[in-house]
Structure 1
Amino acid sequence: MSTEIAHLRRRLVEFTIQCTTHLELPPIVKYSALSLFFDRFRPSVVRFLQKKKKAEHWLLQPLTESNLQLFVLVSIWISCKMHCSRGLSVQSLKSLGDKMITEQLFTVRDFMEAVMKFEIGTLNIAYTLLDDLFIHFKEVAKVGELLNFEACMDMMDLLYEKEETSVLYHSSTSLAASILVS
């Protein structure tokens, strides 16, 4: 992976973490959003661009960091819808985008198009699996009392920042188990 792509990835991970922190969202939303964007959406865009086809939608033509930040916000919005009893409104998402994305302003319609035109799906999210494993391990093993869930989340953050989640692990279950063991 080129250093430019690695640097962009790091900035997008940081952007995701900053946005979820700013919104005071629970960790499940952060990790779901990271999974949606980096494990589902971004790889499909990369494959599309490798085919050297012209993007069909203006949000991908040209593909800029601010456009990718829009899709990060959409991933946060979807994650919040899945995991929070009180989801984010599109207007609050747009307000956050206005504060956090400095190169370009997006309209509410842009956010809605990003949601409707691009399928960002999720099945198993490593955070959920890690949480389940953590709880089970604490129940069945005495050494489970020594586990620190915050340390597990810190490891997951580092793996996302370094892109090790998609390079080393093709399964969310193995990623969660590896983090817990570490």
Structure 2
Amino acid sequence: MRSQQCSCLRSRVIEFLIQSAHLLEVSPIVKYSALSLLADRFYPVLVRFLRDGKSPDNWLLLPLRESNLQLFGLISIWVSSKMHDTPPLCIKNLKPLADKYIKEQHFTTRDLLEAKIKFFKVIEFGIGVTNIAFNFVEELLIQLREVARVGEHVKFEACMDIMDLLYEKEETSVLYRSPRSLAASILVAAYLITVPKRKWEFPVLPWVKFVTSCKEEEVVDCVRYILNRTLEYQPL
């Protein structure tokens, strides 16, 4: 039961982060770096604390309230913006959004600053996010458009929609053999979803295998997994 509750809670918080990124009008790299920081690094540590019976001595970390995790979602966007934006977001951007959309609790400016410190401590001050699937998807799409005209039909928005879906469904960890392999699979899935069938002459699967050195069977399995969770496809 606790595992199911954590999974549902995580899904709602990821959805909140995605909506907040949209409201704040941040760039895709800020959004997906924030998702990686929160979903792939911060949240799993808290779940391990619960599983191992440990109790961090801070009201922002435990009990695992949805409102507190929403706050940390905003913090992850803030940290990501500091890495990628000039100028970055500031508290004046985040505080009104927190006041309006976090319903269960009111957070002060001091709470946001405290949450930022706790966020860094939980992820052990490791904020490097260059090795994320989003970066590889972007690179692969640019390369595809350089070598094949059909690449213009592959919608970048479809790639992002797939990544959002995988984060919301907690399936990035299931598919995360490597960020490059996940990116290759996302690109192939987006190709199948957005390119008209009559233009499927480009050998996209052998191509991604060549440029990424990923195993073809892993990419195929991952693409099937992705397509089985979308509504706009014909099964492989």
Same-fold call, TM cutoff 0.5: yes
- Unaligned runs of at least 5 residues, structure 2: 190-236
Is 1:132 equivalent to 2:139 in the alignment?
yes
Contact 2:72 2:119 in 1 (8 A): no
1:165 aligns with 2:166: no
TM-score (norm 2): 0.72
Give the residue type in structure 2 aligned to 1:24.
E
TM-score under structure 1 length normalisation: 0.92
CA drift at 1:17: 1.5
Which runs of 4 or more aligned residues in structure 1 lie more than 6 Å from their structure 2 counterparts after TM superposition? none
SS at match of 2:106: coil
Question: CA–CA distance in 1 between the matches of 2:76 and 2:128?
Answer: 10
Residue 19 (str. 1) matches residue 6 (str. 2): no
In structure 2, the partner of 1:122 is: 128
- Whether 1:62 aligns to 2:69 is no
Q: Is the 8 A contact 1:40 1:122 kept in 2?
A: no
Query: Secondary structure, in 3 states, of the residue corresponding to 1:99?
Result: helix
SS in structure 2 at match of 1:59: coil
Of all paired residues, the percent bearing the same amino acid is 59
Post-superposition offset of 1:66: 0.5
> Does residue 1:74 correspond to 2:75, yes or no?
yes
Aligned residues: 182
Equivalent-residue separation in structure 2 for 1:136 and 1:143 (angstroms): 12
RMSD, matched Cα: 1.7
Contact 2:133 2:183 in 1 (8 A): yes
State whether residues 91 and 108 of structure 1, in contact with CA within 8 Å, keep that contact through their aligned partners in structure 2: no
Cα contact 1:36–1:122 (8 A) shared by 2: no
* Contact 1:33/1:75 (<8 A) preserved: yes
Question: What letter corresponds to residue 89 of structure 1 in structure 2?
Answer: C
Alignment deviations for residues 87-137 of structure 1 (CA, whole Å, 9 cap, x no partner): 111232122111111111111121112212332423322212211111112
Q: Identify the residue that residue 5 of structure 1 maps to in structure 2.
A: 6
1:32–1:79 contact (8 Å) kept in structure 2 = yes
Give 1 or 2 for the bigger CA radius of gyration: 2
Larger relative CO (CA 8 A, sep 6+): 1 or 2? 1
Instruction: Tell me whether 1:39 sits opposite 2:40 in the alignment.
Output: yes
The answer for unaligned runs of 5 or more in structure 1 is none
- Cross-structure match for 1:154: 161
Cα displacement (A) at 1:172? 1.6
Please give the secondary structure, in 2, of the residue aligned with 1:60.
coil
Q: Give yes or no for the alignment of 1:87 onto 2:93.
A: no
Match of 2:207 in 1: none
